[in-house]
Amino acid sequence: MLESYGKLYVVATPIGNLADFSQRGIEVLQHVDLIAAEDTRHVTMLLQHYGIVNKLISLHQHNEEKAAPELVEKLKQGDSIALVSDAGTPLLSDPGMPLVKLAKDSGITVHPIPGACALIAALSASGLPVTRFCFEGFLPRTSSARKSFFAERLNLEATWVFYESCHRILATFEDMAEILPLDRQIVVAREITKLHETIVKDSLENLLALIRADSNMRRGEFVVIVDGATLDKTPQLVSAEQIRLLQILLKECSLKTAVALAVEISGGQKKLLYQAALELMKTAELSE
CA angle 20/35/135 to nearest 5° reads 55
The reply to whether the predicted model has a pTM over 0.95 is no
The pLDDT assigned to 137 comes to: 95
Average pLDDT (82-110) is: 96
pLDDT (tens digit, 9 = 90+) per residue, 168-185? 999 999 999 999 999 999
Q: Which has more pLDDT, 270 or 288?
A: 270
What is the overall mean pLDDT for the chain? 93
Q: What is the share, in percent, of the chain residues with pLDDT greater than 70?
A: 96
β-strand partners of 138: 163
pLDDT (tens digit, 9 = 90+) per residue, 63-77? 999 999 999 999 999
Q: Is 63 left (phi over 0), alpha (psi -120 to 50) or beta?
A: alpha
Of 130-134, 234-238, 281-285, the one with minimum mean pLDDT is: 234-238
- Does residue 1 have a pLDDT over 60? no
Of 18-22, 185-189, 238-242, the one with minimum mean pLDDT is: 238-242
Q: Which has more pLDDT, 128 or 285?
A: 128
The pLDDT assigned to 188 comes to: 98
The pLDDT assigned to 78 comes to: 96
Q: Check if the beta carbon of residue 261 is closer than 8 Å to that of residue 219.
A: no
Q: How far apart are CA 179 and CA 17, in angstroms?
A: 36
pLDDT (tens digit, 9 = 90+) per residue, 109-143? 999 999 999 999 999 999 999 999 999 999 999 99
**Which residues are CB-contacts of 261 (< 8 A; sequence separation ≥ 6)?**
249, 253
Average pLDDT (28-56) is: 95
The pLDDT assigned to 231 comes to: 74
Q: Show the 3-state SS of 180-214.
A: CCCCCEEEEEECCCCCCCEEEEEEHHHHHHHHHHC
Q: How far apart are CA 19 and CA 195, in angstroms?
A: 13
Taking the CA atoms of 82, 86, 91 and 97 in sequence, report the sign of the dihedral they define: negative
